[in-house]
Amino acid sequence: MEVSMLGSSSSWSFRLSPKRQTPKLASSLTERDPIFLNMRVGNQIRPYSARALKSRSVSEDFVERSSPLEVKKELEICFDLIHRLGRGIVYLGSARIQPNHPHYLQAQDLSREASNLLDCTTWSGAGPGLMDAVTKGALEAEKPVGGIKIEKEAGEWTASKFHPYLPPQNYHTCRFFSARKHGLVDAVIRNKISDKTAVIALPGGIGTLDEMFEILALIQLKRIGSELPVPFIVMNYDSFYSKLFEFMESCENLGTVSKGEVSALWKVCNNNSEALTYLAEFYELPYGSTRPETKLRTSGTVS
């Protein structure tokens, strides 16, 4: 027995037919955005819109995921990478900042000092820009460095799966953003009190904001740091995020965010010294006040 769904803009009806035939779409639906529901008894309902059907015929060259197991495999690779290198500080930041920019030099110095302070692995998206800066900083400190890369970053030097200088065993290039995001989140989870991890958001664009607020939501919902809290630091170099903070205040005034809700989830730091001091206090570590803020290097490039 076949069950077909017919409808118009104002009503829907069902028709039972003893014949086993594929139901035809009504012309009124075809002119709009038709939805075909195969409701054969015992079969799963699968809706397809006209837009999706059209995309399939037009974008034949697009390589879709053939199985959810592909994502699972990438997740397993990311988790194995983190298990081997250890959890630590995850940096989020722009892939477009050039090596001679002050924010690049500040990020490089911060990464070097923070990896020494927490004695942990430095994690990033293993791309160019500020991700490259923190990678170099951690290497200067001779601390472990790990990367969960994506095949193509915005403004990246190449759409290559390979990192220009990190050894292959220290990073993985993901095909799926979901696997990459899960990996970066897992890299900051604290399983025991001796684990020292952190999330540090450097200046960035759409991708950075996406990752920032996704992790912030997980902290808010106690999916991260429910038992062992994880510090979340926003580096407000040159007041870069000031307009964002004003927007969050507007959300509080409108009532979409509770008063003080966001400020309780992250720590805003204007320079590296503030960030390092906060991390030292958070983990009750000695941090010498005798060492002044690192002066920016004057050279145009960083080796």
What would the pLDDT profile of 148-158 be if each residue is shown by its tens digit? 998 766 555 44
User: Is the residue at 150 inside a domain?
Assistant: yes
More confident residue, 34 or 220: 220
Strands 121-124 and 145-150: parallel
Q: DSSP character for 170? A: G
**One domain, residues 141 and 264:** yes
272 with 136, same domain: the answer is yes
Neighbours of 79 (CB within 10 A): 15
Average pLDDT score over residue span 186-206: 97
pLDDT category at 128 given cuts 50, 70, 90 is very high
Do both 138 and 21 map to the same domain?
A: no
CA proximity to 269, closest of 184, 185, 201: 201
pLDDT at 151: 77
On whether both 193 and 48 belong to a single domain, the answer is: no
Q: What CA–CA distances, in Å, run from 223 to 186, 188, 201, 215, 259?
A: 11, 12, 19, 9, 21
- Residues 6+ positions from 164 with CB-CB distance below 8 Å: 157
Does residue 212 sit in the same domain as residue 248?
yes
pLDDT beyond 70 at 44: no
Q: Interior CA angle at 68 toward 62 and 70, to 5°?
A: 75
Structure confidence by residue, pLDDT tens digits, 202-232: 999 999 999 999 999 999 999 999 899 999 9
Cα–Cα distance, 244 to 12 (Å, whole number):
46
In this structure, the answer to whether residues 23 and 75 fall within a common structural domain is: no
Domain count, the chain: 2
**Model pLDDT, residue 287:** 86
Please report the pLDDT score of residue 66 as a whole number: 74
CATH number reported for the structural domain that contains residue 232 in this entry = 3.40.50.450
Tell me: do 35 and 151 sit in the same domain.
no
Residue 88 has pLDDT above 50, yes or no: yes
pLDDT > 70? residue 162: yes
The predicted structure's pLDDT at residue 159: 56
Whether the Cβ atoms of residue 74 and residue 175 lie closer than 8 Å to each other: yes
For residue 240, give its domain range: 68-282
Q: Which residue has the tokens 């920032």?
A: 212
Asked if residue 84 and residue 49 are part of one domain, the reply reads no
pLDDT at 213: 97
> Do residue 54 and residue 72 come from a single domain?
no
Q: How confident is the model at residue 35 (pLDDT cuts 50, 70, 90)?
A: very low
* Residue 211 in domain: yes
- Whether 302 is in a domain gets the answer no
Q: Who wins on pLDDT, 159 or 138?
A: 138
Q: Are 62 and 171 in contact (CB under 8 A)?
A: no
Task: Summarize pLDDT for 244-298 with one digit per residue, the tens.
Answer: 999 999 999 999 999 999 999 999 999 999 999 999 999 999 987 434 444 445 4
Residues 170 and 269 in one domain: yes
- Mean pLDDT, the chain, rounded, equals 81
Task: Report the predicted TM-score, pTM, of the whole model to 2 decimal places.
Answer: 0.75
